[in-house]
């Protein structure tokens, strides 16, 4: 089976490299991108998480420069995903993001963070229930960003307002939620019920138990579902301790990535081709549809943001073996 290359819309690091490192350089980025290419990923959006403004600006500048001066960056990285700092700091919603660095939605801050970048922020994840959140969703959409909702306690009414303002995606749906919630009137059910929102899922069997993921995929439908990794530097590596946005994370033998000494997940060690295999092997989709969740679906979702910035995806093709292992990855660098 032949398919377009895989597209990872949310990846914090890979192969021992942390994209949130202000010391990131072109050589380190190329090392990570080469490893991603071997897994069939031909396009990705390096993702930066919540940090104080000065730190986030420094990290964005380093990432932007690394992409521009690397060998594979110009072909594989059309832009970035900014996950925060406009999130909900309440326990259970913050996840591993530092709550004390979260700030109210602020269009001026977003402009300051992005003004000097050579490559655009293509996805902004925010919590629309925060004061000014819906207005920021509208402003970000007007700036050509794909607006996503995550680390959020938004109810159905707020989600409807955000969707009306241009939000189009639920970020890693099923995660960054409190362990105890109301049975039906909760953010997860609200996201599943909002038909204007596509949803991204971390299909590693750790973030979402497979039976729960099966139900979520049925609720959203395969046309509105996207596979992501939320990978960290622990992806495509051996178990051990790695760095993620200035904090230590532990890649365990069972594949989970935690803050050391606790049970709180901190991104993943998932590779996108494995997510595709999982969906097919669990019987949630045909092999062709499983590939679609990580290729043509994210491409279609990202297309308006790319077009707003005069960009297009660099063509990449994969030939898959019978066991859904990518091989003969080709990457054309035109455009």
Q: What's the rounded Cα separation, in Å, for the pair 45 and 224?
A: 19
> Taking the CA of residue 57 as centre, how many other CA atoms within 13 Å lie in the half-sphere pointing to its CB?
11
Q: How far is CA 80 from the centre of its chain?
A: 10
Q: What's the rounded Cα separation, in Å, for the pair 117 and 108?
A: 15
Q: What's the rounded Cα separation, in Å, for the pair 186 and 213?
A: 17
Q: How far is CA 289 from the centre of its chain?
A: 20
* Tokens, residue 240: 């051990």
* N-to-C CA span, the chain: 26
Q: Looking at the annotation, which residues are catalytic? A: 230
Q: What's the rounded Cα separation, in Å, for the pair 305 and 327?
A: 29
Q: How far is CA 59 from CA 31, 63, 86, in A?
A: 18, 6, 17
Q: How far is CA 26 from the centre of its chain?
A: 21
A 10 A CB-CB count for 23 gives 10
Q: Are the CB atoms for 128 and 161 separated by under 8 Å?
A: yes
List phi, psi (to 5°) of 198.
-75, 170
List phi, psi (to 5°) of 36.
-65, -40
Classify residue 239 as left (phi > 0), alpha (psi -120 to 50) or beta.
beta
* DSSP assignment string, 313-324: PPPEEEEE-TT-
| 264 three-class SS | coil
Q: What's the rounded Cα separation, in Å, for the pair 57 and 22?
A: 9
């Amino acid at each position: 089976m032949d398919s377009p290359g895989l597209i990872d819309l949310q990846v914090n690091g890979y192969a021992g490299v942390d994209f949130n490192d202000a010391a990131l350089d072109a050589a380190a980025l190329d090392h990570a991108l080469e490893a991603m290419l071997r897994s069939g990923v031909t396009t990705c959006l390096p993702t930066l998480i919540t940090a104080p403004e000065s730190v986030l600006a420094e990290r964005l500048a380093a990432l932007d420069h690394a992409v521009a001066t690397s060998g594979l960056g110009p072909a594989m990285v059309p832009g970035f995903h900014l996950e925060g700092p406009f999130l909900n700091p309440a326990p259970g919603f913050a996840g591993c993001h530092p709550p004390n660095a979260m700030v109210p939605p602020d269009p001026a801050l977003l402009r300051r963070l992005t003004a000097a970048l050579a490559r655009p922020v293509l996805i902004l994840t925010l919590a629309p229930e925060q004061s000014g959140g819906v207005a920021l969703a509208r402003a970000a959409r007007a700036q050509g960003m794909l607006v996503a909702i995550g680390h959020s306690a938004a109810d159905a009414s707020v989600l409807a307002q955000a969707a009306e303002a241009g939000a189009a995606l639920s970020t890693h749906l099923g995660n960054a939620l409190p362990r105890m919630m109301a049975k039906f009137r909760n953010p997860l059910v609200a996201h599943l019920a909002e038909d204007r929102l596509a949803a991204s899922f971390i299909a590693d069997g750790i973030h979402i138990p497979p039976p729960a993921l099966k139900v979520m995929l049925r609720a959203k439908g395969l046309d509105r579902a996207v596979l992501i990794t939320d990978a960290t530097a622990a992806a495509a590596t051996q178990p051990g301790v790695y760095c993620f946005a200035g904090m230590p994370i532990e890649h365990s033998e069972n594949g989970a990535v935690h803050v050391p000494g606790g049970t709180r997940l901190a991104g993943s060690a998932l590779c996108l081709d494995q997510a595709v295999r999982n969906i097919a092997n669990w019987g949630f989709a045909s092999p062709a549809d499983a590939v679609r969740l990580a290729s043509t679906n994210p491409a279609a979702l990202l297309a308006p943001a790319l077009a707003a910035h005069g960009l297009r995806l660099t063509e990449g093709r994969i030939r898959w073996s019978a066991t859904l292992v990518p091989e003969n990855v080709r990457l054309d660098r035109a455009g």
